[in-house]
Amino acid sequence: MNESNNITQLFYNSAEKFPTRIAIIDKNTSVNYQILASEVASTAAYFSAKGIKSGDRVLVFVPMSIDLYRILLALFSIGATAVFLDEWVSLKRLDLCAQIANCKGFIGITKSHLLRFLSSSIRRIPIKLKIGGRATCSTKFPLAVSKELPALITFTTGSTGTPKAAVRSHGFLKIQFDILQKKVDSKPSDIEITNLPIVLFLNLGVGATTVICNFSPKKANQFDYQKLFETIEANEVSRIVFSPYLLSEYSNFLENTKRTNSSIDQLFTGGGPVFPLEAKKIIKCFSVSKAEVIFGSTEAEPMSSIPMEELSKQDVLMDQGLAVGLPHPEAEIKIIAFVDGPLTQFEELPRNTVGEIIVAGKHVLANYLNNPEAIRRNKIFQNGKVYHRTGDSGYLNDKNELFLTGRCQGIIHLKDRSFYPFIIEYELSQLKGIELGVVVELEGSLVVVVDKSTRNPQPIKKIETQIKSLGYPSERIIWTKIPRDPRHHSKIDSEKLKSQLSKK
């Protein structure tokens, strides 16, 4: 073992090289690398004094902020494992996650401590930690750890079944850092704004400055884009890394106000689909040297990527699926036949054949914490490799380009035809008067579900005529507010929509 195995060594290296450089800006508060390193060390000493040791798991319920990264870096520094939960998680899911993780410590903002009265799993956590806790530090951090020691546990998106706890070790985080660093090419001189928590770690490892974008998916309609514009201008931000929804909505703001951020030179997005016309709008609003969409998941990030310029030219080909670019060199992507259930082996399908996308690679997570059933259903162990089943359908063409056709479970088979709601969602979104639309199967029939646009209102009869002209064998159109995923607000929350429709 040696200190370099501890993922926080990258951060401490940055603090040594660039002590006075600003590390994080959050609203009206900022902290430089030297001060942040000192605060991380005193926080780590506090955790140790409270009885948290290497290998212990600590449930962290803190929103994206300077405090969050101080706490996470402190936990990693002593070899403890941070169990991170999104602020949008439901009480039921929180309780399940806490049971799976079986944590020794809990740390959260004041409001989160009320959860102790509502969650028996949290009440059973023996050590409650103060968010502002500090102690005199006499230990040199980071502590030496093995590459295999878990550093971070996050829970994959989903609202049903047993939550899947993805475990990232110190060694795995270093591999992911190296791959993403090569892809994004972060530099110490960069000033980046992001709303994606994991991305900020990359910047801390190279000595760059990160501006936190306090975008909450729960309050997406209340977000102040004027303030975001002013923040980017005031900090001379050079790179944007946003979720697709936030990037698209900010582009709408720039388009409507006829403004631009002249300091922005690069932009990246991921965590949800970006359709061709959105890409066209985004590159029109930003004059940048690099704009890319990165395709990946909690278990495999990145899998592939595509320049927005290339994606923007694909609008006439959406009936063939959404292009997500060439596979990353470290990602071994294969297409296999659809199978509902565990697999112990597979055969690769021919090119241009739609099936389930699976991926292997050194940056692909091999297991989940305390969930053997999830491992059986989501992993295939073959030829000495671990393949992750993404649950996404798609195909590789003759040029080895990857195309998405939606979630495997979402494909509808009716009357000897297959319908891909993911593609139809795009077609519906291009119609005037529709904010969001999709098709679902209800009682053996195809039904179009539509969320009416408030920005571009149209008479309902006119919209329905447009829908019928698309030729779907649908007898019903349902108008309702379509729920989006709680993490990025970028995808349709299919499970919640099904529940919503069943009540209707």
Q: What confidence tens digit (pLDDT) does each residue in 390-429 have?
A: 999 999 999 999 999 999 988 998 877 888 888 888 888 8
Percentage above 90 pLDDT, the chain: 65
- Segment 237-251 mean pLDDT: 96
pLDDT at 160 over 60: no
Determine the Cα angle at 169 with ends 168 and 171, to 5°.
Answer: 120
- Residue range 56-108, pLDDT digits in tens: 999 998 989 999 999 999 999 999 999 987 666 677 778 888 888 999 999 98
Structure confidence at residue 311 (pLDDT): 95
Please report which confidence band the pLDDT of residue 46 belongs to, taking 50, 70 and 90 as the band edges: very high
User: What is the residue-wise DSSP string for 150-188?
Assistant: EEEEEE-S-SSSSPPEEEEEHHHHHHHHHHHHHHH---T
Q: Is the confidence at residue 296, as pLDDT, over 90?
A: yes
The mean pLDDT of 261-284, rounded to a whole number, is 94
What is the rounded average pLDDT of the residues 172-198? 94
Measured distance CA(263)–CA(25) in Å, rounded = 17
pLDDT 10s digits, 309-332? 999 988 655 678 999 999 999 999
pLDDT at 1 over 60: no
- C-beta of residue 84 within 8 angstroms of C-beta of residue 154: yes
What per-residue confidence (pLDDT) applies to 457? 78
| 3-class DSSP state of 430 | coil
Strand-pair partners of 286: none
Residue with more model confidence, 161 or 324: 324
How far apart (Å, rounded) are the C-alpha atoms in residues 474 and 262? 47
Residue with tokens 């230990």: 139
- Least confident piece of the model among 279-293, 294-308, 442-456, 478-492: 478-492
Q: What is the pTM of this model?
A: 0.89
List Cβ neighbours of 484 (8 Å cut-off, separation of 6 or more): 217, 220, 245, 436, 490, 491, 492, 493
pLDDT of residue 316: 55
Q: Is the pLDDT of residue 153 over 50?
A: yes
pLDDT given for residue 425 in this prediction: 86
Is a pLDDT exceeding 50 seen at residue 225? Answer: yes
Residues 6+ apart with CB under 8 A from 456: 432, 433
* % of the chain residues with pLDDT over 70: 95
Q: Where in the chain is the domain with CATH 3.30.300.30?
A: 412-503
What the block records as the tokens of 482 is 């379509």
CA–CA dist 285, 490 (Å, integer): 19
**Rounded average pLDDT over 260-278:** 93
Token output for 170:
């110190």
Taking residues 244-258, what's their average pLDDT? 95
pLDDT tens digits, 469-497: 888 887 788 888 888 876 556 677 777 88
Of 239, 241, 157, 156, nearest to 196 by C-alpha is 241
Q: What's the pLDDT at 128?
A: 93
d(CA 160, CA 454): 31
Residue 11 predicted with pLDDT over 90: yes
Which pLDDT score is estimated for 2? 47
Of 275-284, 335-344, 379-388, 425-434, the range with the lowest mean pLDDT is 425-434
Q: What is the pLDDT of residue 127?
A: 96
Quick one: DSSP state of residue 223?
-
Say which range, 14-18, 254-258, 339-343, 473-477, has the weakest mean pLDDT: 473-477
**Looking at the predicted structure, is the pLDDT value of residue 55 above 70?**
yes
The class level of CATH for 3-19+26-167 reads alpha beta
Confidence category of residue 116, pLDDT binned at 50, 70, 90: confident
Please give the CATH number for the structural domain made up of 215-407.
3.40.50.12780
Residues of the chain with CATH 3.40.50.12780: 215-407
The arithmetic mean of pLDDT across residues 365-374, rounded, is 92
223-232 burial, b at 16+ Cβ within 10 Å, e below that, comes to bebeebbebb
Domain with CATH 3.40.50.980 in the chain: 3-19+26-167
The architecture of the domain spanning 412-503 is 2-Layer Sandwich (3.30)
Mean pLDDT over all residues of the chain?
90
